[in-house]
Amino acid sequence: MAKYIFITGGVVSSLGKGVAAASCGALLQSRGYTVHARKFDPYLNVDPGTMSPFQHGEVYVTNDGYETDLDLGYYERFLGAKLTRNDSVSGGRIYWDVLSAERRGDYLGATVQMIPHVTNKIKDYISTPVDTDFVVCEIGGTVGDIEGQIFLESIRQFANQVGRRNVMFVHLTLAPYLEKSGELKTKPTQMSVRRLLENGIQADMLIVRTPRMLTSDERAKIGMFCNLPAKNVISGIDVDNIYKIPLAYEGQHVFDIIADHFGLPNAIGDMTRFEKIEKYLAADIPTVNIGIVGKYFDVPDAYKSLNEALFHAGIQNNVHVKLKKINAETFTPDDCADVDGILVPGGFGVRGVAGKIAAAGYARENRVPYMGICLGMQVAVIEFARNVLGIADADSTEFNKSATPIINIMADHDAADMGGTLRLGAYPCVIAPDSRAYEIYGTENISERHRHRYEMDVTWREKFEAAGMKISGLSPDGKLPEIVEIPSHPFFVAGQFHPEFQSSPYTGHPMFNAFIAAAAKNHK
C-alpha cells in the first residue's frame, strides 16, 4: 500500500503548497522511493479549462487531455511523473460526480449527504491505485475556507481508515515580519494550526514561510503552541529560484522528519540534479534576451510552464535567459530591437493577434530566431500568407469568418475526443526526415500535448512550401499540420502543440533547447 503525505495551507493563499509538495516528493525520490502526486482544489469549477489566465494563471494539460491546475506542472517537472485526469480534482467535479450518480439512481433512493457521499467520493479519488511508494496530495485553498471544509474532513477520515502511520500531514503557514518593530510574529501560524485541529487534523510537520530562518527559540515556541516537536518546524525561507527549495529542505532534515514518521530507514539523498541547477544559477555566463510577445502578463503564473521551459533550455545551453515581456496589443518593431530571439506563445481570442502577426513578420524579415507555440504557429502562417504569398485577407476563422481561411476548424475533428471542439492532450506527429524539426528531435515520431481549437488548412501546403515555408510535421494521417519552419531562416520553427508541458529542468525540451541555442548564436 502506498503511503500518503497531505499538504495543506493556512493564514493566506499562494504560500507555495505546490512547490512544497513537489519538493517533499523530490527528497523521497533522492532516496530511491517512487512518488506520485495529486491536487485537490475546493473551488466549484469542474476543471480549470474555462478559467481566465488573467485570474487563475495558466491551464496545464496532461497527456490524457485533462485541463488542470498549474501545480500539476510543478509535480511533473520536479518528479518526472506523468499525471492523469485522476490527479487533478476540483470541488465542482466531486459534486458533479455525486449528483450525476444520484440522478442515475446509483444511491438506490438514499438521502444524498455531504457525509458519507461527498467524502466517500473524495476518498475514492485520493485512493485511486498507483504503483508508487508515496502519494503526495495537495489540498488547495486555505484552512478556514468554507468550500474546503469537506476536503479536510475527507482526509481526516482517510487517515483513520488507512492508519495514522500511513498518512502524514504537512501544513504551510506564514510568519509575517514587522519591519518597524523588528519582530517575526508566530501568532498567525498558531491560529492556523488551531483551525486545522478544529477539523480533527494534527499537523506532523510545519513549513513556515518566513523572510529569514527561524531561530531555535521561535521554532520551540511554535512547536509548543502547535503540539509538535520543535525539530518538525521548518523555515520556508524565500529563495530566488524554486529549484533551491529541495536543497533548503534537505539542509533542514525534512527527509529525516518524514522517515521518522513513516518508520523509514534514514538515508543520504542524492541531490546532484538540484546542486547542478544551483551552480548554474550562480555561474558567470552569457545572457540571452528573449522577447515574449503575449497578453497575459498581469498574472505572473499565466505563462508559468513557458517561463520554466526557457529556464530549462538555458541550463542545457549554459546561458542565462532573460525574458522581455512584450505586450502584443501595443507591439511595435522597436520592442524587438534588443532581443536575441522572439517567442509567440499560445492564446485565445482576437486581442493582441495583430501584434503577434507583426512580431512573426519582424522575426522572419530580420532573421531573428523565432519560436511559435500554438497560436504562435498560426500567426506565423497568417503573416507568411499575407506578406509572401500575397493573400491580403488571409486569416483564421477564429478572428475573421469572411477572410480567406488559412486557419480553420477542421471538419473531421472528433469533437467527442477533443473536449467539445478543443484538441486536448498528447497526439502523435510525424516529422519529415529532411527538416530542421528532425534535427531538433532526432526522430521521425514524436508526441506532444495540444490545447487548441483551430488548425492550419493542409490544402495550402504546396503553395506555402513553394514560397519557402515547409510543413515539416504532420499528424499521422497527413491532415493536420503540426510543425512549420522556414529552412532558409537561421531559426524559424513553430508548432501547433505546447512543448512547454513536457520540459524538464534536468533535460530541457528539444525545441526550447534548439531555440535558445539559436538565440545564443544570434547574441554572439
pLDDT for 466 equals: 98
- Catalytic residue (one of 312, 374, 383, 398): 374
pTM: 0.93
Which of 122-126, 301-305, 335-339 has the weakest average pLDDT? 301-305
What mean pLDDT is predicted for residues 300-318? 95
* Residue 94, CA distances (Å) to 40, 110, 149, 403, 416 in order: 10, 18, 14, 43, 22
Long-range Cβ contact pairs of 217-224 (< 8 A, separation 24 or more): 218/175, 218/184, 218/186, 221/186, 222/175, 222/186, 222/189, 222/190
Q: Dihedral of CA 278/284/285/290: which sign?
A: positive
Residue 321 pairs with which residues in a beta bridge? 288
- Catalytic residue (one of 58, 250, 398, 500): 500
Q: Write the CB contacts of 391 (distance below 8 Å, at least 6 apart in sequence).
A: 385, 404, 406
Phi, psi of 253 (to 5 degrees): 65, 40
H/E stretch holding 314 reads helix 304-317
C-alpha cell at 461: 501546403
Helix, strand, or coil (residue 5): strand
Residue 358 pairs with which residues in a beta bridge? none
Domains of the chain: 3-276 (3.40.50.300), 283-523 (3.40.50.880)
8-state DSSP, 65:
-
Q: What's the pLDDT tens digit per position in 481-510?
A: 999 999 999 999 999 999 999 999 999 999
Q: What's the pLDDT tens digit per position in 8-17?
A: 999 998 899 9
8-state DSSP, 147:
G
- What share of the chain in percent tops pLDDT 90? 89
- What share of the chain in percent tops pLDDT 70? 98
C-alpha cell at 169: 500531514
pLDDT band of 416, cuts 50, 70, 90: very low
pLDDT at residue 414 is higher than 70: no
Angle between helices 304-317 and 272-282 (to 10 degrees): 80
pLDDT at residue 209 is higher than 60: yes
pLDDT at residue 244 is higher than 80: yes
Residues 482 and 490: their CA atoms lie apart, in Å, by: 20
pLDDT band of 179, cuts 50, 70, 90: confident
In the residue annotation, 498 being an active-site residue is answered as yes
What mean pLDDT is predicted for residues 223-240? 95
pLDDT for 419 equals: 40
Phi, psi of 472 (to 5 degrees): -100, -5
Residues 132 and 389: their CA atoms lie apart, in Å, by: 54
Neighbours of 109 (CB within 10 A): 7
- Catalytic residue (one of 117, 450, 452, 498): 498
Neighbours of 304 (CB within 10 A): 20
Among 254, 200, 188, smallest CA distance to 225 is for 188
pLDDT at residue 136 is higher than 60: yes
pLDDT at residue 35 is higher than 80: yes
pLDDT at residue 158 is higher than 50: yes
pLDDT for 410 equals: 66
In the residue annotation, 320 being an active-site residue is answered as no
* Residue 250, CA distances (Å) to 150, 207, 269, 275, 521 in order: 33, 13, 8, 11, 37
What mean pLDDT is predicted for residues 177-205? 94
pLDDT band of 181, cuts 50, 70, 90: confident
Q: What's the pLDDT tens digit per position in 83-125?
A: 999 999 999 999 999 999 999 999 999 999 999 999 999 999 9
**Residue whose C-alpha cell reads 512547536 in the numeric block:** 223
Among 90, 42, 43, 44, smallest CA distance to 66 is for 90
Residues 81 and 72: their CA atoms lie apart, in Å, by: 10
pLDDT for 523 equals: 87
Compute the 3-state secondary structure of the chain and give helix, strand, coil in percent, each to the nearest 5: 45, 20, 35
What mean pLDDT is predicted for residues 164-193? 94
In the residue annotation, 137 being an active-site residue is answered as no
